[in-house]
Chain A
């Protein structure tokens, strides 16, 4: 079995810390990295995620050249983060259809950019994220849909899984990162 490349793991830990910091700032709460793992190839089982029969979660998929990202919020933290992030424009935002999905898509773009930043710096290149795409379903359904979207653009070489938790409202969120061989090689240098 391949061992997780330590350079990339450290890089992702650094990015995850920035990601947690950004989410804390925008949601007036405290977040920390709970778990981070890195495995070769794409994933079929998503063993870390809850069973397919779980309640619907809020997912957001974003991509950049060589990388795909999916952020998965459970209903509890998704709802609370959406409320806290939109305090400045609460009434007009409340009138939006699929409010939580739209707010969490914006939130996800902000926090994923923190990870993209460390990957870009390691590869000495600019990584501009795509516009976010919202996904609904169980965690596994969202992960599978995101993986399919990314695999259609690029062959997945490594997949990272990160889980974040907050004591502020006893909840969590999850992030999957799909990397192609070229970006992986650049990030490992």
Chain B
């Protein structure tokens, strides 16, 4: 099944790489966001199947967005994509019911995590 994806990342490079990787696998990035306000607006508008979320953003940290999105929609499917592999951080991600893909990642890592979310 083709997934409709919201990419939350303020790095244009990351957004491009994720978009290209999912497109090659038949999925579609329906929106991009860089901060909490954009995330919530895009989520309401596009109702994506999955949200990919970076942790280090200029506006607020990704854990704040993760918690806010989870509060907005307890059933939201979220995959955190981050170079941050600290135990305490991953514990928070897992506790919030999100998946996790460590950077650097391969196309296979990403597609597998999106499918499992």
Task: List residues of chain A with CB under 8 Å of any chain B CB.
Answer: 22, 25-26, 62, 85-86, 88-89, 92-93, 96, 102-103, 105-106, 109-114, 116-117, 120-121, 125-132
Contact = CB atoms under 8 A, between A and B. Distances in A.
Interface SS majority for chain A: helix
Contact of A128 (B11, B14, B19, B56): B56
Nearest to B88: A126
16 contacts: A86-B17, A88-B20, A92-B20, A93-B16, A96-B13, A106-B11, A106-B14, A110-B104, A114-B83, A116-B84, A116-B86, A120-B88, A121-B86, A128-B61, A128-B62, A131-B10
Contacts of A126: 86, 88-89, 92
Contacts of A92: 16, 19-20
A93 B14 CA distance: 9
Contact of B11 (A105, A114, A129, A130): A105
Contacts of B85: 113, 117
A82 to B, nearest CB: 9
Contacts of B61: 128
Contacts of A93: 13, 16-17
Contacts of B88: 120, 125-126
A103 B13 CA distance: 6
A110 B17 contact: no
B30 interface: no
B115 interface: no
B22 to A, nearest CB: 11
Contacts of B62: 128
Given A88-B17, A88-B107, A128 B10 contact: no
Nearest to A110: B83
A129 B56 contact: yes
A85 B17 CA distance: 10
B58 interface: yes
A48 B59 CA distance: 34
Contacts of A86: 13, 16-17
Given A110-B83, A131-B56, A26 B16 contact: no
A92 B92 CA distance: 34
A93 to B, nearest CB: 5
Contacts of B11: 102, 105-106, 109, 131-132
Contacts of B63: 128
A128 B89 contact: yes
Nearest to A124: B88
A96 B83 contact: no
Contacts of B79: none
A129 B20 contact: no
Nearest to B104: A26
B21 interface: yes
B15 to A, nearest CB: 9
